[in-house]
Structure 1
Amino acid sequence: MITIKNSVIKGYHEFKIRPPLQLTLRVDREYTNIHDVSACLVWLPDTVSDNDQLDFVTDSKRGLRLKDILGLPCGHVPRGIAPAFRYILDNGGRIEVKTTGDPVPSFYPWPDVKEKGGGIVIPCDYFIYTNNKTAHVTVIKHHISLMSEKDAMAVV
């Protein structure tokens, strides 16, 4: 397993879905994104193993419970690492996400809320499962090295 710590899920302002902390989410390709062919979405699971979780309130302001948002996308992978994730997914890998905080205005080194690429983000860690760890670590590190946010994330 490869872990990317201290990253974010982008696009909360668009999706307005707040996943519960530490719920395992999944990453998959976004085939319909005409602006970015490498775009990847973060999805909530379709089901949960503990039915007691279904009534967990994820957004008290809007009255949403986990059962209301299961199976929905909650945001995007940051644009800079999306090509690496797309490559890994296309080559048989699997990527999961766990949120580490509630949605917050984007913070340094991510673009400011008012800058292009800024907005509300959800802090998270990404977990990559692959049979080609060495090659995929190289791909991930290369793409992160090109990002202005490279110093925030740690590949473990």
Structure 2
Amino acid sequence: MDKKRKAPRETGMASGSCEKRKKSASSSSPPTMPDPSAAQGAIEITVDGVVIKGYHIFRRRPLLGLRMKVVPEPDNPMDKDALVVVMPPLDSIPTADHDVVTDTKRSTTVRHIAGKWIGRLPAGLSTILRRMKAEGEVAELTCVATGEPRQSFAPWPMPGQKGGGAVIPCKLHVQVTDRERAIAALKSAFESDLGPEKAALVIV
């Protein structure tokens, strides 16, 4: 198990040299991760314009560009279809990214949040994806953060409204069994099951 590194002091020469060596998530290149869709027979579609919710609860900023798992949340009493976004374990992340700082305010690095929950997908979208997975249309879900945490924005519920609050913009990658059928099913479900937020979702 990796030992936590002590935070450098804020005064003295040692602190200055250490801070120069410390990486920043905003200045580093996106990590190079294996693409699950490269597996033989895998078919992947992307849903852009998605957001990760729950930042005000978890307060973890993921590394931009890093593929994260999207898995069912066990024992959620409020939403049986809840899907959580989880950072990959440390040994699945390129070594060069382990000490990248993702949150300067909290001095959080990738190694601090590896394997931990980042947030949840929006409830309506989770219900659609769980249903398609149960029907055999969806095989695996991953997502990539595309922006820093920010207050929710239209057409998603606004801050102060039910479902509004801090969000992390992301792209959702969906492995499916049949591309055309899955796209048709997603478009139909977005139209019938979602509210104004459906206008933000783009399937590519």
Fold match (TM-score > 0.5): yes
CA displacement, residues 60-90 of structure 1 (integer Å, 9 cap, x when unaligned)? 1111110000000101011111012213444
Alpha-carbon deviation of 1:143?
Answer: 3.0
Which of 148, 153, 162 does residue 102 from structure 1 map onto?
A: 148
Structure 1's unaligned 5+ residue stretches are: none
SS in 2 for 1:28: strand
CA distance in 1, matches of 2:103, 2:110: 9
Higher helix share: 2
Q: Which residue of 2 aligns with 1:81?
A: 125
**Which one has the bigger strand percentage?**
1
Q: Kindly indicate whether structure 1 or structure 2 has the higher relative contact order, using CA contacts under 8 Å at least 6 residues apart.
A: 1
The AA in structure 2 aligned to 1:77 is: L
Q: Secondary structure at the match of 2:200?
A: coil
CA distance in 1, matches of 2:85, 2:200: 20
1:38-117 superposed matches below 5 A: 38-47=81-90, 48-90=92-134, 91=136, 93-117=139-163
Q: Runs in 1 of length 4+ with deviation above 6 angstroms?
A: none
Which deviates further from its counterpart, 64-73 or 44-53? 44-53
Query: Out of 58, 68, 73, which is 1:15 matched to?
Result: 58
The code of the aligned residue for 1:110 comes to: W
Q: How far does residue 148 in structure 1 lie from its aligned partner after superposition?
A: 1.8
For the aligned residue pairs, the C-alpha RMSD in angstroms reads 1.5
Deviates more, 1:103-112 or 1:143-152: 143-152
Counterpart Cα distance in 2 of 1:87 and 1:45: 24
Deviation at 1:7, TM superposition (A): 1.1
Q: Which runs of 5+ in 2 are unaligned?
A: 1-43
* TM-score relative to the length of structure 1: 0.93
Largest Rg, 1 or 2: 2
* Distance of 1:85 and 1:46 partners within structure 2: 24
User: 2:78: which partner in 1?
Assistant: 35
- Name the % identity: 35
Letter in 2 for 1:149: E
